[in-house]
A and B are shown apart, each in its own frame.
Chain A
Amino acid sequence: MDNKELKEQLKQQVIEVLNLEDITPADIDDAAPLFGEGLGLDSIDALELLMLLDKNYGIKFSDRNQSKAVFASIDAMAAYIIANRKK
């Protein structure tokens, strides 16, 4: 799976896991922030994303501060998954 396909899959997974009913993958900009002004996600949504990375890609965070950078955008998430995925 290349980077583009991974991002599309990731967007779909984010929409499903966070129950974002009115949003399609096309609405999510790869570089736009997921939290705050972007999709407006909060810290509990971050927990969902953390579980998503664990379940789907076998990634566990050892440093909680790292998560802020990883969940900054779809671009950042995809880059981290490519570098660290276990499955």
Chain B
Amino acid sequence: METDRAWTGKTGGTKRMQQSLIRIFSRVSPRWLYPLVAVWVLGYIFFAPQGTRAIYYYWRKRQRRGIVKSCVMLYRNYFEFGKVILDRFAAYSGRKFNVKTEGKELIDKLQNQSGGFIVISSHIGNQELAGYVNPSKKPMCVLLWTGDTDTVNTNRERMFNKMGLYFLPMQKDGGHIFAMHEALSRGEILSIHGDRMFYGGRTLTAPLLGENTEFPEGPYRVAAIEKVPVITMFMMREKADTYTLYIRELATGKETGNATEQAKVILNKFTDEMGKILNKYPLQWFHFYQFWHTGDR
């Protein structure tokens, strides 16, 4: 695996900065800090060249914009990410958001069934808020990369434990795979990121926005092996304090056939849904590293 394709899994900012944000948002709306973020992100654009190159590529080649337009959208993309991060810390402080849900009947049906199901999430929009606004009737096991700061992880746990969520840290020896199986066997919900590779490992290839790229095989193969319903959720920012949550079905759990082939089918549905959402919300693409393996930079 190329080193620039691996994600370190950390939220930006120091521990002290993150704690300050949580204190501030217990009193004021995050929107008041947006102007500050508009300036702050310039630093990331100029001093984080790998991320800047990746986002420029996304706009220039995948969204097919001109050079000038791509530069403008690059800045707006960073600004949008800053707003989403502020909203996330506002959620940690207990702030509520206006959320419209599309596909609610799908998750209601799965919540009322006895068995477990899988949610494959992505790093577009504000996916962490999806769990926050959608109280679950079943316990939810969230597979988590442990690279974040104590502030982020502690506040995640404080916020999500109230919502019936708990975290399962990824382990290099794959020990988490059995814990995931046990969670599903108990009829719980299993939430896994479907678009980032942390420890390398096997990959599957699928097209996204007109170009093939690699995805971790794990989430899709686990979903295919377990033969449970699989959905994806996209929590997309509309404006200050307002989001739309899109819920889409990737597998019913009744599919037959080889798990390896079924994993590819689930991945292709996932990238198809991702592509549709990105066409509607192109600014909410938050992979600040080279997501596509291509020499076409």
Please judge, given known A-B contacts A47-B222, A47-B225, whether A42 and B202 are in contact too, CB under 8 Å: yes
**Residue in B178, B201, B217, B222 whose CB lies within 8 Å of A67:** B178
Whether the Cβ atoms of B225 and A42 lie closer than 8 Å is no
Which of chain A's residues 42-87 have a Cβ closer than 8 Å to chain B? 42-44, 46-48, 50-51, 61, 64, 67
Residue A44 contacts which of B177, B179, B182 (CB distance < 8 angstroms)?
B177
Q: How far is the CB of A36 from chain B (nearest CB, A)?
A: 11
Residue of A nearest to B260 (CB): A19
CB-defined contacts of B174 to chain A, threshold 8 Å: 42-44, 46
B181 lies within 8 A of chain A by Cβ: yes
- Chain A contacts with B in 12-56, Cβ cutoff 8 A: 17, 19, 42-44, 46-48, 50-51
A47, B173: Cα distance in complex, Å: 13
* Interface size bracket, A side: 10 to 19
Contact B177 A47 (CB under 8 A): yes
- CB pair A43–B173 under 8 Å, yes or no, is yes
Residues of B within 8 A of A17 (CB): 259
Which residue of the partner chain B has the closest CB to A64?
B178
Q: Which of B109-168 contact A (CB under 8 A)?
A: none
Task: List chain B residues, Cβ under 8 A from A19.
Answer: 258, 260
The complex places the Cα of A46 from the Cα of B260 at a distance, in Å, of: 14
User: Chain B 165-193 against A: per-residue CB contact (8 Å), 1 yes, 0 no?
Assistant: 00000000111011101100000000000
Whether the Cβ atoms of A44 and B217 lie closer than 8 Å is: yes
Query: Secondary structure of the A side of the interface?
Result: helix
Question: Could you tell me the distance between the alpha carbons of A82 and B201 in the complex, rounded to whole angstroms?
Answer: 33
State whether the Cβ of B218 lies closer than 8 Å to any Cβ in chain A. Answer: yes
Of residues 209 to 247 in B, which have CB atoms within 8 Å of A's CB atoms?
217-218, 221-222, 225-226
* Residue ID in chain A nearest B263 by CB atoms: A44
Q: Is the CB of A44 within 8 A of B218?
A: yes
Contact A47 B201 (CB under 8 A): no
Contacts of A61 in B (CB 8 A): 178
Chain A residues, CB < 8 A from B218: 44
Q: Which residues of A contact B181 (CB under 8 A)?
A: 47, 50
Contact with A along B69-89 (1 / 0, CB 8 A): 000000000000000000000
Contact (Cβ within 8 A) B225 A44: yes
Smallest distance from the beta carbon of A81 to chain B beta carbons, Å? 19
Query: A20 → chain B, closest Cβ, in Å?
Result: 10
Q: B182 contacts which chain A residues (CB < 8 A)? A: 64
Bound complex: CA A6 to CA B285 (Å): 51
Query: Which chain A residues lie closer than 8 Å to B259 at the CB level?
Result: 17, 48
Contact of A46 among B177, B202, B258 (CB under 8 A): B177
Given contacts A42-B201, A42-B202, contact A47 B258 (CB under 8 A): no
Residues on B with beta carbons closer than 8 Å to the beta carbon of A46: 174, 177-178
Contacts of B178 in A (CB 8 A): 43, 46-47, 50, 61, 64, 67
List 13 contacting pairs A-B, 8 Å CB cutoff, sorted by A. Answer: A17-B259, A19-B260, A42-B174, A43-B173, A43-B174, A44-B222, A46-B177, A47-B181, A47-B225, A50-B178, A51-B226, A64-B175, A64-B179
Q: Taking beta carbons and an 8 Å cutoff, which residues of B are in contact with A?
A: 173-175, 177-179, 181-182, 201-202, 217-218, 221-222, 225-226, 258-260
Given pairs A42-B202, A64-B175, 18 additional interface contacts (CB within 8 A): A19-B260, A42-B174, A42-B201, A43-B173, A43-B174, A43-B175, A43-B177, A44-B174, A44-B177, A44-B202, A44-B217, A44-B221, A46-B174, A46-B178, A47-B178, A47-B222, A48-B259, A50-B178
